[in-house]
Amino acid sequence: MLEARDLTKRYGDFTALHPLNLTVRPGDIYCLLGANGAGKSTTINLFLDFIEPSGGAAFINGLAVRAHGPATKQQLAYIPENLMLYPDLTGLENLDFFCGLAGKTHLKAELLTLLHEAGLPEGFAQRRVAAYSKGMRQKVGIALAVAKDAKVLLLDEPTSGLDPKASNEFSALLLRLRERGVATLMATHDLFRARDTGTHIGIMKEGQLLESFAASSVDYNELEELYLQHMHA
């Protein structure tokens, strides 16, 4: 569903992403770990077609994102660290607006159900987003992913700054999307969540994917040890 083939990004003499080969299949939650500057956001931004690769290509459902920008964007949902919503609109109005941009129309009752299923507390759907916590805004993002029927979810540190309960709820939502066959690529610093929620883990350093393995192949302590070994090497 998501594929990087020799995907590379250079800025002048500096290589932000060395040729990356990666596949994320339907139902996979692939977590990219790595220190600041490792190339995680660069990878996500290349899949989003926000930046142009210096080499190789990113594919979504077999389509190169460079050549098929609108078609690939229709199939994906993106939740960054701080999801931008219109603060003066309600969660419901935001969801309705962004669904419209994605070419999807839903009845108000359907959108309310999606917000409810995403765990937005009772009564908040009709309140201005300015009054939402970060966790609530992330839930609107998940509701949008479901409303769009997105096949691919790109997440850039979505749980950073969330309290443990909100982070736990976010993980539960990811697992539900996984059951729908969504392919998820997530950049995160949260080793615990990567181990707990991810199906695959990749460790990046200085623009290189050093290791990639099944999340179930390590326990949390082993993951932490492996991660720290790479960071100190």
Ligand X SMILES: Nc1ncnc2c1ncn2[C@@H]1O[C@H](COP(=O)(O)OP(=O)(O)OP(=O)(O)O)[C@@H](O)[C@H]1O
Q: Is 94 in the site for ligand X (CB under 6 A)?
A: no
- Residue for token pair 């994320």: 24
In the complex with ligand X, which residue's Cβ is closer, 16 or 191?
Answer: 16
Q: Is 8 in the site for ligand X (CB under 6 A)?
A: no
Q: Segment 34-53, which members bind ligand X (CB under 6 A)?
A: 34, 36-42
Q: Is 205 in the site for ligand X (CB under 6 A)?
A: no
Q: Segment 105-164, which members bind ligand X (CB under 6 A)?
A: none
In the complex with ligand X, which residue's Cβ is closer, 41 or 159?
Answer: 41
Residue 226 host element (H or E): helix 220-232
Could you tell me the smallest distance in angstroms from the CB atom of residue 218 to ligand X? 21
Q: Is 80 in the site for ligand X (CB under 6 A)?
A: no
Q: Cα–Cα distance between 221 and 86 in angstroms, integer? A: 41
Q: Around Cβ 105, how many Cβ atoms within 10 Å?
A: 11
DSSP sequence for 45-110: HHHTTSS--SEEEEEETTEETTTTHHHHHHTEEEE-SS----TTSBHHHHHHHHHHHTT----HHH
Could you tell me the smallest distance in angstroms from the CB atom of residue 42 to ligand X? 3
Write out the residues near ligand X by the rule CB under 6 A. 11, 14, 16, 34, 36-42, 187
